[in-house]
């Protein structure tokens, strides 16, 4: 959380704060050191400073006051500049985390946007500010919210990417389903949490692929960790989703990709309580018959 000064229109007092320097930035850099491929970072604000908002509060149903449209765009650029000074650069951004929540209620830090308002702010203020500061190549993703909100935001998507989130169970099934219907990426929420499913300042405790037991200095990889690896390990950036004609009677969730190294990746998920026999046919490469155990997930690679 940044320390903000009311009516700091020129952002002379803009600064990062302790958790940026001691937690976020060091963890980002450590992850970059360990990753064999570049990590694509994107930022997603939950609220503008309270003094820029119509009710002077970072929570509750609230919106950005129009008189601060330009200032907030510059505020966002100042954040990017501050991280760039720490040698942390972003691939993309969202203008707002869950923009509809700020229109309905303010349980979390939030700020509401109607689609037309966000379009006006991006085109008239944020976009020009990013371009002027040298961030014109950043990917802007809109509707950082639930899939139920996509329809009313899709009208703005001529030059933007629509980003959606889901809190459903059966995460892998959902992932296969949406990627079979034009979704191009997925970000999990969260990577690691404590034994309680936090930390979370409003007690919104959830699950994660990795659970950390700080007292014992241990961490535990949950089944979700290995399920997600079927995508993160075998479908690298640059992969292309390819068609897969299937017999719907099998009850097997499936999806296929062509990786940059010309490897075909086929991911299968059997959510049934019985084993299934699956035949995979590629007219150019031949065919294979495999048994997929009940409630399991499998990935096949061939070239």
* 178-225 confidence digits (pLDDT tens): 899 888 888 888 899 999 999 998 898 999 999 999 999 999 999 889
Joined tokens for residue 47: 């609220």
Q: Which residue, among 285, 256, 282, 283, has the nearest Cα to 269 in the 3D structure?
A: 256
Structure tokens at 21: 């320097």
Residue 69 covered by a domain = yes
Asked if residue 285 and residue 149 are part of one domain, the reply reads no
pLDDT of residue 1: 45
User: Going by C-beta distance under 8 Å and a sequence separation of 6 or more, which residues neighbour residue 160?
Assistant: 122, 140, 141, 142
Q: What is the spatial distance between Cα 297 and Cα 302, in angstroms, rounded to a whole number?
A: 17
Domain end: 147, 165, 183, which one?
165
Residue 5 lies in a domain: no
Residues 251, 152 within the same domain = no
Q: What is the H or E stretch that residue 131 is in?
A: helix 127-132
Of 131, 165, 199, which one is at a domain's C-terminal end?
165
106: CB partners within 8 A, 6+ apart: 57, 59, 60, 61, 62
**214 within some domain:** no
Same structural domain, 156 and 28: yes
Helix (H, G, I), strand (E, B) or coil at 120: helix
In 3D space, the residue among 53, 72, 52 whose CA is nearest the CA of residue 62 turns out to be: 53
- Indicate which CATH number applies to the domain containing 278: 2.60.40.1180
Low-confidence ranges of the chain (pLDDT < 50): 1, 159, 163-169
**pLDDT tens-digit series, residues 11-31:** 999 999 999 999 999 999 999
What integer pLDDT is reported at residue 174 of this predicted model? 84
The last residue of one of the domains, among 108, 133, 165, is 165
The Cα–Cα gap between 11 and 81 comes to 12
Query: What six digits make up the tokens of 270?
Result: 């059997």
Specify whether 117 is located in the same domain as 246. Answer: no
Q: Residue 261 belongs to what domain range?
A: 242-302
pLDDT at 148: 67
Co-location of 22 and 157 in the same domain = yes
On whether both 161 and 246 belong to a single domain, the answer is no
The runs of H, that is alpha helices, within 163-243 are 171-179, 223-232
Task: Report H helices in 156-253.
Answer: 171-179, 223-232
| Rounded to 5°, angle at Cα 72 from 32 and 82 | 30
Q: Which of 168, 134, 141 is nearest to 40 (CA)?
A: 141
Query: Is residue 203 assigned to a domain?
Result: no
**What domain count does the chain have?**
2
């Amino acid at each position: 959380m940044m320390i903000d000064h009311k009516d700091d229109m020129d952002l002379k007092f803009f600064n990062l704060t302790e958790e940026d320097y001691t937690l976020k930035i060091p963890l980002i850099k450590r992850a970059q050191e360990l990753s064999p491929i570049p990590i694509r970072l994107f930022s997603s604000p939950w609220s503008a400073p309270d003094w820029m908002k119509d009710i002077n509060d970072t929570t509750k149903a609230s919106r950005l006051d129009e008189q601060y449209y330009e200032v907030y765009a510059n505020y966002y650029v100042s954040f990017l500049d501050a991280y760039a000074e720490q040698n942390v650069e972003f691939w993309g951004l969202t203008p707002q985390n869950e923009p509809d929540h700020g229109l309905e209620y303010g349980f979390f830090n939030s700020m509401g946007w109607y689609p037309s308002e966000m379009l006006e702010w991006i085109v008239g203020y944020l976009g020009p500010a990013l371009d002027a500061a040298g961030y014109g190549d950043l990917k802007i993703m809109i509707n950082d919210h639930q899939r139920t909100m996509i329809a009313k935001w899709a009208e703005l998507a001529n030059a933007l990417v629509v980003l959606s989130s889901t809190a459903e169970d059966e995460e892998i099934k959902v992932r296969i389903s949406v990627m079979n219907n034009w979704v191009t990426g997925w970000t999990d929420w969260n990577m690691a949490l404590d034994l309680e499913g936090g930390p979370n300042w409003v007690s919104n405790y959830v699950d994660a692929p990795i659970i950390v037991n700080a007292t014992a200095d241990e961490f535990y990889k949950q089944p979700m960790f290995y399920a997600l690896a079927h995508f993160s390990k075998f479908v690298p950036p640059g992969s292309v989703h390819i068609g897969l004609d299937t017999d719907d009677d099998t009850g097997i969730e499936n999806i296929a990709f062509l990786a940059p190294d010309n490897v075909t990746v086929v991911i299968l998920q059997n959510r049934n309580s019985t084993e299934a026999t699956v035949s995979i046919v590629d007219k150019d490469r031949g065919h294979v018959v495999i048994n997929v155990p009940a409630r399991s997930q499998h990935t096949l690679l061939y070239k």
